[in-house]
Amino acid sequence: MGTRIHLERNVEWGIKILKDMVSIPTVNPPGENYSEFTKLSREILEPLGFDVEVVEVPGEYVAKHYPDYAQYPRYVVLARYGSGRPVLHFNGHYDVVPAGSGWTRNPFEPAIEGGRLYGRGSSDMKGGIAAFIAAAKTLVESVGGVKGSLELALVPDEEIGGETGTGYLVRELGSRPDYVVIAEPSGSGTIWVGHKGALWVFVEVFGRQAHGSTPWLGVNAFEYMVEVANRFVREYVPQLELRKSSYEYDDPRGARPTAMVGGEVRGGAKVNVVPGHYSFSIDRRVVPEEKLEDVEKEVVEFVEKISKELKEVKISVRVVNRLPPALTNPDSELVRTVRGVAKEVLNHEPRTTVCLGGLDMRYYTQAGIQTVTYGPGLLGVAHIADEYLPLDEFEKMTKIYYLLMEKYLT
């Protein structure tokens, strides 16, 4: 009875701290108000008995990965309770995307209406952070000492790739917990056991510039770019339709690798100038059964084959982003445990699927750490105007997080 009372009270407390968090516009890019958020985090966590460490990511490290934002300081907050193993680790990113247009309310003045908390970052993903902090408060109040360690990691920069957030925590600070839960808004009914990877490339086509009145003196890079892109769509993309992942996805169409052409097209100088250079992008999504290096080799070799046939122009491939896929075995101990405690709250087991987009999971899974992504919210409202968090989702996930902490640490 005591624990239930603590939980109910701390759900309300968690909603209050969530409002405080949403009120801080940690907008990324470029990475604003991070220090204010870390200050609030310390003020929340230290009175609960956590040892709180705030690590500033070195400016040169930020400049290496995100040079445009190097003048904005980045902080990783790592709070610990207890000692020894097992280490149960919760991860949440505190940066949010810019508000954008179309809001019917101030995006950074959180408001509760109709069972929803509105505000930028309420769902993605300060709601998840507030939920695991509220669950941790319940654990401290209900059981006192724990067997092992509870870690809460609050990180920046997931919205721009995570290299200076979770990437720095795992790769440079050497974080090696036993079990990781990332509180992204999967929704209480879905546990993400992995995510697809991505390879982003630009195909560059170099012709010869000339005056538009004498096009025969030039080599039109645009015309050849169109031919290359058309062949990629007609010859390469159908090959991907023949492949299918063995895991379950939120949308069954996501079980196949994909290649999206033309998200960006660059080139040309003026209406009356034969373009000497054009390029187009390819967004190749990678299922967990594929290796990123094999996919890169496959794409490059396909373009090189076309290049040998089109001798009038020079064609090259420039890789601009490599994001490996992530996967935790759906039959692993962590996944089974999370499904079990979720069933106690939901009265049914959540689905286990692979997320179609990229997540910070890859940093942990590459280090061999069992990791799931499971948190309150609705992915469909992330990044949109009037983003909101259903408060019944917040309550369910707070209870699930508490039961998971209790399972591993008491």
Domain ranges for the chain, please list them. 2-195+325-409, 197-323
Q: What is the pLDDT along the chain (410 residues), one digit of tens a residue?
A: 467 778 989 999 999 999 999 999 999 999 999 999 999 999 999 999 999 999 999 999 999 999 999 999 999 999 999 999 999 999 999 999 999 999 999 999 999 999 999 999 999 999 999 999 999 999 999 987 899 999 999 999 999 999 999 999 999 999 999 999 999 999 999 999 999 999 999 999 999 999 999 999 999 999 999 999 999 999 999 999 999 999 999 999 999 999 999 999 999 999 999 999 999 999 999 999 999 999 999 999 999 999 999 999 999 999 999 999 999 999 999 999 999 999 999 999 999 999 999 999 999 999 999 999 999 998 789 999 999 999 999 999 999 999 999 999 99
Among residues 48, 47, 46, 73, which one has the least CA distance to residue 61?
Answer: 73
For domain 197-323, say whether CATH 3.30.110.30 is its number.
no
**What torsion do the CA atoms of 362, 371, 57, 24 make, to the nearest 10 degrees?**
110
How confident is the model at residue 147, as a pLDDT? 96
How confident is the model at residue 132, as a pLDDT? 98
How confident is the model at residue 2, as a pLDDT? 63
> Residues 245-256, buried b or exposed e (16+ Cβ, 10 A)?
bebebbeeebbe
3-class secondary-structure state, position 234: helix
Whole-angstrom Cα Rg for the chain = 24
**Residues 6 or more apart in contact with residue 255 via CB below 8 angstroms:** 244, 245, 247, 248, 249, 287
Q: How far apart are the first and last CA of the chain?
A: 17
**What torsion do the CA atoms of 161, 163, 168, 172 make, to the nearest 10 degrees?**
150
CA distance 398 to 392: 10
Alpha helices in 199-272 (DSSP H): 221-231, 237-240
**Residues 6 or more apart in contact with residue 358 via CB below 8 angstroms:** 195, 196, 197, 198, 323
Paired tokens of 24:
């801080």
DSSP codes, 303-325:
HHHHHHH-TTSEEEEEEEEEE--
For domain 2-195+325-409, say whether CATH 3.40.630.10 is its number.
yes
Cβ atoms 373, 350 nearer than 8 A: no
Paired tokens of 61:
């490290």
How confident is the model at residue 67, as a pLDDT? 96
Alpha-carbon distance values, 324 to 70, 243, 360, 410 (Å): 25, 18, 11, 35
CA angle 129, 132, 137 (to 5 degrees): 120
CA distance 63 to 297: 29
How confident is the model at residue 305, as a pLDDT? 97
Paired tokens of 397:
């996930």
